Structure 1
Amino acid sequence: MNQNWHGTLIRHMLLLVTGCLLVGLISGYYGWSLAIGLGLYLGWTLKQLLRLHEWLRQHTPDEAPPDGYGLWGEVFDSIYHLQRRDQRVRGRLQAVIDRVQESTAALKDAVIMLDSDGNLEWWNRAAETLLGLKTPQDSGQPVTNLVRHPRFKEYFEQDNFEEALEIPSPTNDRVRIQLYLTRYGNNEHLMLVRDVTRIHQLEQMRKDFVANVSHELRTPLTVICGYLETLLDNVEEVNPRWSRALQQMQQQGSRMQTLLNDLLLLAKLEATDYPSDNHPVAVQSLLQTIKNDAQALSGERGQHITLEADPSVLLKGSEGELRSAFSNLVFNAVKYTQDKGTIRIRWWADHQGAHLSVQDSGIGIDSKHLPRLTERFYRVDSSRNSNTGGTGLGLAIVKHVLLRHRARLEISSVLGHGSTFTCHFAPTQVSRSQAIAAEE
């Protein structure tokens, strides 16, 4: 109640008391006059309260409050002004909401708002085309009941939405859609969906082109390398001037064969989302074999390679693909670590899943290169790559193998102080050896 209302109330009470005292002066009953006057005033006040309560309980949004007199007249007038101001604010907000809905309805990309439990709250027209949502019967339904692709369920239930998800459209298998999820407000979700069919077709054409060219080059390259090997086996019968040239040709031919093999492996990895031979793999024994190969690759460089692996932790997946990914990480550490350096390989599991860490004390990588390391043919230093005989595809292969095994690669490095490559596997990919678990 503001200061004017205080003044009005005081004036009304003074007038009431003065009137009661005058009646008491005339009648000679001051107490009764004051009590009757205050009782009548209280009854009138209660009546106004009942009118206000009845109006608040039954009024329509645009219905004005009842008329009143004196103090209650000011109360009803204040309520009326608040009501009008609230209507103006609601009108402006509704206009903004209408404009936002009209603008999102015009988008070719789908916009879907979900509550904290993943139930549908609102969507634009594009969502009906790309996801097949129906208005109004799908409102309040869990989005995972309407988008039934298994990869979407996995994607929605995870906590990390940094990467987008690409799946076929529920309405048309020939349409590819890309989904982005982000959290906002009180753990609600905003989902954006776009049609990437054209981009997917171009990417598929690129993959097919690389795979076909690699296959076509493989046969003539095998023939060339075979003849070079035959010539070098009989080098004493060849003009000495050609000996060095033949050796260099054989080296470059071997490097091209390695490149083609890596390209064909990448094409195979990209062909499907999951490994065909998905069974528990004994990672400890796999890493022991890779460590022995790495020690042989190190040769006389005096590098110290250690392995710490929990033999009870198995990993569901393709042993061949995992061998390729893990050996790439370990062999890279050997190549880019100086003589007498240290390389530490660790394999362990916790409540977040299983983890493989390859840590070296090598030359390290500048932080500006880290986001692009898994790109095909990306080289931090082209001269360094050629000296080590790499193809620039090793980390790209690692990335694709991890994606197929529901894992991610984390890279940390300090220039001049070494690098650490860590593979994080989801708990669903991990199993434990029954024999070892029984012993425990």
Structure 2
Amino acid sequence: MNQNWRGALTRHLLLLLAGSLLLGLLSGHYAWALVLGLSLYLGWALRQLLRLQHWLQRAQADAEPPTSHGLWGEVFDSLYRLQRRDLRQRTRLQAVIDRVQESTAALKDAVIMLDRDGNLEWWNRAAGQLLGLQTPQDSGQPVTNLVRHPRFKDYFERANYHEPLELPSPVNERLHLQFQITRYGDHDHLMLVRDVTRVHQLEQMRKDFVANVSHELRTPLTVICGYLETLQDHSEDFNPRWQRALQQMQQQGGRMQNLLNDLLLLAKLEATEHPSDYQPVAIERLLQSIQSDAQALSGEHHRISLQADAQLMLKGSEAELRSAFSNLVFNAVKYSPDAGEIQLRGWADENGAHVSVQDQGLGIEAKHLPRLTERFYRVDSSRASNTGGTGLGLAIVKHVLLRHRARLDIRSDPGEGSTFTCHFPSSQVVRR
């Protein structure tokens, strides 16, 4: 209540008191005159309250307030001004909401708003076309009840939304959708769903092309390498200047065979989401076998140590895990100087299981680290050529780990070596 209202109320009370005293002077009953005056004033105030309640209960925002004077007139006028201001603000906000809904409705990508528990709050028109959401019966439903794919449920519950998820559409299996979830506000979710069918088809064409070409080249290359090996065995019968040519052809033929084998392995890994031969794998025994192979590859030029938990076992494909770990260890041997030390470790903690390979090589600059797992990406093409690498080793490691719900962490500093660590979730660990 402001100063004007206090003054008006004081004047009203003084006038009431003066009128009551005057009536008491005329009648000789001061107490009854005061009671009568207060009763009349209280009745008038109650009448104004009833008029105010009746006005506020009317659902018409533009209804004129009741006419009155004095203090109650100011109350009615103030409430009316507040009502008009609130109406203008609501009109502006509604215009903004309508604008946002119109713009999102025009998007070809689905936009879905979820609460902190994953229940549907709002979605645009594209969400109904891509996911089959229906208004209003699906409002308030958990999104995992409408998108029932196990991978989506696992993706949503793990709350690790750094990478998008690709799945077939629940209403049309020929459509491939990309799901991307972002948190906002009070742990609410904003889910964007994009139709990536065309990209998926192009990617599938690339995979089929690489797999088919690799398979078709394998037989003629095997024949060529076989004849080169035969010629190399009888090289003493040829002119000495041909011996170097035969040696180089056989070496390059071997590199091409390794390249085709890696391409075929990648095609096999991409063909399915999970290994078919899922079984417990003893990590210590697997790393011991890889250590022996690495010692033979090194020719005793490196010190290769192993420290692994004898009780550690992982669910997965032993052949695929061997391929991934071997690539890391053999790379450490190839790119480490003589007398360098290579450490293999395998351990488990509350976060899951971990396998690391640490070397004392030349190290890798930070700008190359995000792209190391790309196919054919080379930090130094001349060095890769000298070591005979195919450029697919780390890509194979990445795909094997993805199939085992794991990830690869790379830490490296130029001149101080590198550490490659495979992190497996607790769900992949077998408890003895």
TM (normalized to structure 1)? 0.92
| 1:81-96 equivalence runs, <5 A | 81-96=81-96
Match of 1:250 in 2: 250
Q: Structure 1 CA distance, aligned partners of 2:86 and 2:373? A: 56
The alignment partner of 1:257 has SS state of helix
Match of 1:111 in 2: 111
1:384-436: CA deviations, max 9, x gaps?
A: 11122111101111111111111111222222222222222222222123xxx
1:130-161: CA deviations, max 9, x gaps?
A: 11111211111111111111111111111211
Q: Structure 2 CA distance, aligned partners of 1:59 and 1:308? A: 79
Q: Structure 2 CA distance, aligned partners of 1:19 and 1:358? A: 100
Match of 1:388 in 2: 387
The alignment partner of 1:300 has SS state of coil
Match of 2:354 in 1: 355
Match of 1:186 in 2: 186
Q: Structure 1 CA distance, aligned partners of 2:17 and 2:417? A: 92
The alignment partner of 1:276 has SS state of coil
Match of 1:142 in 2: 142
The 3 A distance-change label for structure 1 pair 233 and 128 is: same
Match of 1:411 in 2: 410
Match of 1:4 in 2: 4
1:30-76: CA deviations, max 9, x gaps?
A: 565445544543454345445545655x4425255544432122112
Q: Structure 1 CA distance, aligned partners of 2:318 and 2:332? A: 21
Which deviates more, 188-197 or 226-235? 226-235
2:335 matches 1:336: yes
Percent pairwise identity: 75
Q: Structure 1 CA distance, aligned partners of 2:49 and 2:312? A: 73
Question: In structure 2, what residue type is equivalent to 1:346?
Answer: R
Q: Structure 2 CA distance, aligned partners of 1:349 and 1:5? A: 74
Q: Structure 1 CA distance, aligned partners of 2:337 and 2:26? A: 116
Question: In structure 2, what residue type is equivalent to 1:425?
Answer: F
Q: Structure 1 CA distance, aligned partners of 2:258 and 2:305? A: 28
| 1:118-137 equivalence runs, <5 A | 118-137=118-137
What is the deviation of 1:306? Answer: 2.4
Match of 1:315 in 2: 314
Question: In structure 2, what residue type is equivalent to 1:158?
Answer: R
The 3 A distance-change label for structure 1 pair 275 and 41 is: same
What is the deviation of 1:289? Answer: 1.0
Question: In structure 2, what residue type is equivalent to 1:223?
Answer: V
Q: Structure 1 CA distance, aligned partners of 2:404 and 2:84? A: 61
The 3 A distance-change label for structure 1 pair 279 and 78 is: same
The alignment partner of 2:174 has SS state of strand
Match of 1:268 in 2: 268
1:205-258: CA deviations, max 9, x gaps?
A: 111111111111111111111111112222222221111111111111111111
1:259-300: CA deviations, max 9, x gaps?
A: 110000011111111111111111221111112222222223
The alignment partner of 1:83 has SS state of helix
Question: In structure 1, what residue type is equivalent to 2:264?
Answer: L
The 3 A distance-change label for structure 1 pair 99 and 258 is: same
Match of 2:217 in 1: 217
The 3 A distance-change label for structure 1 pair 299 and 152 is: same
Alignment gaps of 5+ in structure 1: 434-440
Match of 2:304 in 1: 305
Q: Structure 2 CA distance, aligned partners of 1:208 and 1:40? A: 95
Question: In structure 1, what residue type is equivalent to 2:231?
Answer: L
Q: Structure 2 CA distance, aligned partners of 1:208 and 1:111? A: 33
The 3 A distance-change label for structure 1 pair 344 and 27 is: farther
Match of 2:277 in 1: 277
The 3 A distance-change label for structure 1 pair 244 and 189 is: same
What is the deviation of 1:5? Answer: 2.1
Q: Structure 2 CA distance, aligned partners of 1:46 and 1:322? A: 84
- Paired residues in the alignment total 431
The 3 A distance-change label for structure 1 pair 421 and 11 is: farther
